[in-house]
Amino acid sequence: MSEIAKKASSAKDALAAAAGLSRHDFSAERANELFERIFQEAPIAMAIVDLDYRFVQVNAAMCEMVGYSEQELTQLRSLDITFPEDVDVTRQNAQMLLNGAAGSSFEKRYVRKDNEVIWINCTVHPIELGDGQPRYRLGMVQDITQRKRAEEEIHKLNQDLEQRVQERTAELQAANRELQNDIAERKQTEEALRESEKRLAQAQRIAHLGYWERDLDTDRVVWSNETYRVFGLSPQEKVNHFAGFQERIYPEDREMVMQAIEKALKGGPRYEVEYRVVWPSGEVRFVHSQGDVILDESGQPRRMFGTVQDVTGRKQAEEALREAEQKYRAIFENAVEGIFQTTPEGKYISVNPALARLYGYDSPAELMASVGDIAGTIYVDPERRAAFKRLIETKGSVELFEYEVFRKDGSKIWLCENARAVRDVNGVIMYYEGTVEDITERKLVDEVKRASKAKSEFLSRMSHELRTPLNAILGFSQLLERQKPTEIQQKRIGYILSAGKHLLGLINEVLDISRIEAGRMQLSLEPVCIADALEETLDLMRPLATERTIQLSASVDIDAGVHVLADRQRFKQVLLNLLNNAVKYTPFCGGVTVSYNVNGNDKVRVLVSDTGPGIPPEKLARLFTPFDRLGAEQSAVEGTGLGLALSQRLMQAMGGSIGADSAVGKGSTFWIELPRTKSPLEKLPVRNEANGARESTSQSRIRSILYIEDNLSNLSLIEQMLAERPGTALLTTMQGKVGLDLARQHSPDLILLDLHLPDLPGWDVLSQLKANATTRDIPVVVISADATKRQINRLMAAGAAHYLTKPLDVTKFFRVLDETTDIGGTKLPAEAISNVEVKEACQST
């Protein structure tokens, strides 16, 4: 038990003893003693201080509390042991007491003698000594250090706790914020993931790229929507098992796919295959699939995943490309034209076999290896290559570019090229490509054609000019012949006539050649008596045959009257050419025979055989090639090499044919074949009474004829010819307009019209005659040197009754005259003449 506790206990005892006494028993002394005893032994520290804070009296508990002895304390002031910071509180409290406040309690600190600071609770009561004036203060002091410390501890704890709560709260708030952020971030991530999944799905759909997974333990499979589409299924038609996948593989490809999977699972090459799948509709599609294997920790395959893509479009394009490539290859390899690709510098990149052949090389490889510089090696004129490059580089392509090249053996050929420049994305020329064609032959032919055309045009003009004077020569000779000449005159006239005719024939031939070459051949088909034609041509040939002592014989039945449908002039021309060849190529004293045979009812074949040198079989095929004289150019025999070519074309134009058989050293037989036709005389109607009566009456009247012609010799020729017809009166004029007036005034029975008039074209004169009621029905016979078919057709269509060509064939003239005017003489029916001369002329070309 502490000292204070002991004292307290004895104080209690003292008070208890005191409690047994009555108030009246207390004397002042006794009371002081008692108070002293209670004061001293009180378990609570007590001190009496004066107004100056001097300890007046202190009890033992007080001394124990502050560590000072009573004596030491009474030497001190309470302020001396008060903790400096609490001095003010002490003073304030003391002041309150002085101001009349009853006892008050407050807390403050003392500094013990050993300097320990203790907390006390001090309850102060004023003490007055009966005069009402407070003189002392009694303080009861309680050590509350423990409590204060506990309180401080608690306070500190509270503070700690609060700080920790605050810290924790802050931590929680931070964590919460982080969580919020995390959540927001996660939401964003989820959103982004969803977006990305959506995009992925879109991308998959666009690319036809599906995703698949296979669990190798369970063989379960997971397919993305696009994978379903790739297999022609909807995602609702669940395929959960690997077997479902296998079923959809095209049967022939199944094994290959399974093997590829097996190899990948065993660590072999990565799984990547192309195979076909069969859609439920039966359609077969191509897919490309690839995938990876996932292994567990022990290296065992657990899962496979990968992609599958529909590549049908690509496959089809590849197939089309392959086919196109094959086609192109075939064209490239087999083309007749040369195909090439070259660098702009002039090196071949690729060439086809045709090009190699063209240049005389054995193979494309040999050509490419041999030619390093096209301009220098191939081009005859390297400037042409420069021109080619300029063209292709500025225009991008060249068409029909012609140039001459050297072949491997040094020979030259002409080529025609079409090419284009192939550029890269920057427009830089990578190479040229194109085709070439050998045009050497065409070049030659063109050259020949050009020369020939120029010659034809010249000949055509010349011969036309020659025909007009010949008209007078032949016409007047024929007239003279009809005027009963003396024998000697007759002979001379004969010479003039035959020379004129020969000259006319020659001119005609020259004209024919030019016309054939210009493609303007005119024919007039009519029944031609074979015997007559042969006789005429043989007559012409006789002088030459005699000259060359060639025996000319003809086994021809003149009375047979066999006719062929032909252009009389051209037919005779061909015969003449064959006979001429036979006579000129057969050596002196040889023989030439002419014959014909009827081939069935359709054809007549005329044969010209000679005992000449014959033609070697290898040359026979060249007989009809223009300008090819088969070596005769080396001999003394003159010729152009055109006769047979011309004959062949004429025969073809007349619907016939020509050919030859020959044996070297024995002779040749040339033949021509033409369609057979009836004699025109067979078509003559049987003359009856009525016709005879008409003829006799018609002969009794004068017929008037108007001749519109500006050439005096022609006018005079017709005048003299008509002098043979006593029943005719001739009106003539050299002007077209005057002719029209005369026609209207005199209404002649016939108008003869020339086409080349000084004032009006003959065409206009005819049109106006036909347009006028007075002259419309007068038959008009056109007489012109222009014998073109177009011209004849045009004038016949415009109303001409006949078209006669100059030089006039007198017999034919009278025939036409008779027909159109009924002016005496033997007449042919109109249809017999016009049919043959006009209609068949139209059919002939």
Nearer to ligand ADP, 374 or 615 (CB): 615
| Residue of 58, 120, 642, 654 interacting with ligand ADP (CB under 6 A) | 642
| Nearest distance in Å: CB 567, ligand ADP | 19
What does the buried/exposed string (b/e) look like for 46-67 if buried means 16 or more CB atoms within 10 Å of the residue's CB? bbbbeeebbbebbbbbbbebbb
CA distances from 188 to 182, 183, 248 (A): 10, 8, 40
Q: How far apart are CA 316 and CA 403, in angstroms?
A: 43
- Give the largest Cα separation in the chain, rounded: 233
Nearer to ligand ADP, 524 or 573 (CB): 573
3-state secondary structure string, 667-688? EEEEEEEEEEECCHHHHCCCCC
| Residue of 210, 306, 613, 807 interacting with ligand ADP (CB under 6 A) | 613
| Nearest distance in Å: CB 593, ligand ADP | 12
Tell me the per-residue interface mask from 573 to 612 with ligand ADP, x by CB under 6 A, - otherwise: ----x---xx--x------------------------x-x
| Nearest distance in Å: CB 535, ligand ADP | 21
Beta 117-128 vs 134-143: how paired, if at all?
A: antiparallel
| Nearest distance in Å: CB 610, ligand ADP | 5
Nearer to ligand ADP, 496 or 632 (CB): 632
| Residue of 632, 729, 731, 734 interacting with ligand ADP (CB under 6 A) | 632
List of residues 6+ apart from 652 with CB closer than 8 A: none
| Nearest distance in Å: CB 515, ligand ADP | 17
Token digits of residue 166: 């605050």
| Nearest distance in Å: CB 582, ligand ADP | 5
| Nearest distance in Å: CB 667, ligand ADP | 8
| Nearest distance in Å: CB 537, ligand ADP | 15
Nearest to 372 by CA among 347, 354, 391: 347
Strands (E), 542-685: 551-555, 563-567, 591-599, 603-610, 657-663, 667-677
Residue 255: helix, strand or coil by DSSP?
helix
Q: Is the peptide bond before 807 cis (omega within 30 degrees of 0)?
A: yes
Residue 603: helix, strand or coil by DSSP?
strand
Nearer to ligand ADP, 14 or 632 (CB): 632
Nearer to ligand ADP, 553 or 711 (CB): 553
Nearer to ligand ADP, 637 or 771 (CB): 637
| Nearest distance in Å: CB 670, ligand ADP | 6
Nearer to ligand ADP, 644 or 792 (CB): 644
Token digits of residue 503: 């000259």
| Residue of 630, 731, 738, 787 interacting with ligand ADP (CB under 6 A) | 630
The dihedral built from the CA positions of residue 516, 518, 519 and 524, taken in this order, carries a sign that is negative
Nearer to ligand ADP, 391 or 632 (CB): 632
- Residues 651-680 interacting with ligand ADP (rule: CB under 6 A): 668
| Nearest distance in Å: CB 530, ligand ADP | 20
Q: How far apart are CA 655 and CA 107, in angstroms?
A: 159
Would you count residue 615 as binding ligand ADP (CB under 6 A)? Answer: yes
| Nearest distance in Å: CB 581, ligand ADP | 3
Nearest to 650 by CA among 615, 674, 676: 674
- In this chain, which stretch among 24-32, 482-490, 625-633, 804-812 interacts with ligand ADP, using CB under 6 A? 625-633
Q: Which long-range contacts (CB under 8 A, 24 or more apart) does 295-301 make?
A: 301/216, 301/265
| Nearest distance in Å: CB 659, ligand ADP | 12
| Residue of 623, 650, 753, 796 interacting with ligand ADP (CB under 6 A) | 623
- In this chain, which stretch among 136-144, 202-210, 498-506, 627-635 interacts with ligand ADP, using CB under 6 A? 627-635
Q: How far apart are CA 503 and CA 470, in angstroms?
A: 8
- In this chain, which stretch among 395-403, 525-533, 637-645, 802-810 interacts with ligand ADP, using CB under 6 A? 637-645
| Residue of 629, 744, 789, 812 interacting with ligand ADP (CB under 6 A) | 629
| Nearest distance in Å: CB 619, ligand ADP | 8
Nearer to ligand ADP, 662 or 732 (CB): 662
Q: How far apart are CA 73 and CA 83, in angstroms?
A: 15
- In this chain, which stretch among 26-34, 370-378, 636-644, 730-738 interacts with ligand ADP, using CB under 6 A? 636-644
The dihedral built from the CA positions of residue 534, 540, 544 and 545, taken in this order, carries a sign that is positive
- In this chain, which stretch among 174-182, 503-511, 560-568, 628-636 interacts with ligand ADP, using CB under 6 A? 628-636
Nearer to ligand ADP, 485 or 639 (CB): 639
DSSP string, 565-579: EEEHHHHHHHHHHHH
List of residues 6+ apart from 761 with CB closer than 8 A: 736, 755
Residue 169: in which H helix or E strand, if any? helix 145-207
- In this chain, which stretch among 125-133, 187-195, 426-434, 635-643 interacts with ligand ADP, using CB under 6 A? 635-643
Nearer to ligand ADP, 200 or 607 (CB): 607
Token digits of residue 378: 């191939």
Strand partners, 668: 662
Q: How far apart are CA 176 and CA 409, in angstroms?
A: 97
Question: Is residue 58 within 8 Å of residue 34, measured between CB atoms?
Answer: no
Beta 104-111 vs 301-310: how paired, if at all?
A: unpaired
Question: Is residue 782 within 8 Å of residue 753, measured between CB atoms?
Answer: yes
Residue nearest to ligand ADP (CB): 639
Nearer to ligand ADP, 525 or 623 (CB): 623
| Nearest distance in Å: CB 642, ligand ADP | 6
| Residue of 141, 644, 752, 755 interacting with ligand ADP (CB under 6 A) | 644
Tell me the per-residue interface mask from 548 to 577 with ligand ADP, x by CB under 6 A, - otherwise: -----------------------------x
DSSP string, 6-40: HHHHHHHHHHHHHHTS-GGG--HHHHHHHHHHHHH
- In this chain, which stretch among 270-278, 337-345, 643-651, 720-728 interacts with ligand ADP, using CB under 6 A? 643-651
The dihedral built from the CA positions of residue 52, 57, 63 and 65, taken in this order, carries a sign that is negative
- In this chain, which stretch among 117-125, 430-438, 449-457, 642-650 interacts with ligand ADP, using CB under 6 A? 642-650
By rule CB under 6 A, what count of residues binds ligand ADP?
Answer: 20
Q: What angle do CA 422, 428, 429 make, to 5 degrees?
A: 35
CA distances from 585 to 397, 453, 845 (A): 56, 29, 33
| Nearest distance in Å: CB 640, ligand ADP | 5
Nearer to ligand ADP, 669 or 844 (CB): 669
Q: Which residues bind ligand ADP (CB under 6 A)?
A: 577, 581-582, 585, 610, 612-613, 615, 623, 629-630, 632, 639-645, 668
